[in-house]
Structure 1
Amino acid sequence: MLKIVIRFGLIIAALLILFQLSKVSLFIPDMSRDLILGLVGAAFIGLGIYLGLKFRKVEVVEVGPDFEIDQKQIEHLGLTEREMEVLQLIAEGYSNGEIGDRLFLSENTIKTHVSNLFVKLDVKRRTQAVTRAKELRIIS
């Protein structure tokens, strides 16, 4: 929630700066409005790139040849064998329908397994589930 408030605050601040800079042409009549808007646009592009690079969070999980699945973690989370199969297929990029076809289950059953995985891994999205599972070393 705090991130959302900060982002909206930055957007509002950027808009206020844009409005103030649009008044610069009143004080410097030799500059065209197009030039000012171009400079302001370039400044905001630079600001966007800077903030994008600064706030981007990427975690790389290296899987070496000696990687072993942590069975204790699987037991601790209470994951069933079927949930593990579903999680592995999610990690491979399959949709719910495709997973259902591969495991001979209905799509609603797969949705139930995915929902249970989200609760057990404490995530909200499929990509988060895969990332969390790799961090916990329960899938390769």
Structure 2
Amino acid sequence: MDVEIIIAVVAVVFFIVGIYINKKSLNSEPFPESEINFQKIEALELSSREYEVLTEIAKGLSNKEIGDKLFLSESTIKTHVSNLLVKLNAKRRTQAIQIAKEMHII
């Protein structure tokens, strides 16, 4: 009986810690609006659709997932990604995200 009580107390403690961590992570905003450099977005001549695709890439979505979310074909998403890579002077999607973060556009 004592062991069961100890296990129950440990489970409740882990449950409470899990809720605390989850609430803390939900409150943190991945892309704070106040730090986004909109002038740089305009200087790079990113279209609004390209910027949407860039933010979805930053969330880790694939081309198919982005297409489903934005109601576009996968080939259209590939075109937007290609344009983003050229405009950001990047070779890969991950490099494009890194450059965009350094420029404070996401």
The question of a shared fold, defined as TM-score above 0.5 by the shorter chain, is answered with yes
The CA deviation at 1:131 is: 0.4
Cα distance in 2, alignment partners of residues 71 and 117 from structure 1: 16
Q: TM-score, normalised by structure 2?
A: 0.68
How many aligned positions are there?
77
Query: 2:63 pairs with 93, 96, 109, which one?
Result: 96
Does residue 78 in structure 1 map to residue 16 in structure 2?
no
5+ long unaligned stretches in structure 1: 1-62
**For the residues of structure 2 that align with 1:70 and 1:126, how far apart are their CA atoms?**
20
Task: Provide closer, same or farther for how the CA distance between residues 64 and 94 of structure 1 changes in structure 2, counting only shifts above 3 A.
Answer: closer
Query: SS state of the match for residue 123, structure 1?
Result: coil
Q: Does 1:105 align with 2:69?
A: no
Q: Distance in 2 between matches of 1:64 and 1:114?
A: 20
Q: 1:120 to 1:103 in 2, by over 3 A?
A: same
**CA-atom RMSD, angstroms?**
1.8
Alpha-carbon distance in structure 2 between the residues aligned to 1:123 and 1:111: 15
Q: Which has the higher contact order (CA 8 A, sep 6+)?
A: 2
- The share of aligned pairs that are identical, in percent, is 64
Unaligned runs of 5+ in 2: 1-29
Summarize the alignment of residues 1-140 of structure 1 with structure 2, pairs less than 5 Å apart.
67-139=34-106
Return the alpha-carbon distance in structure 2 between the equivalents of residues 69 and 82 of structure 1. 17
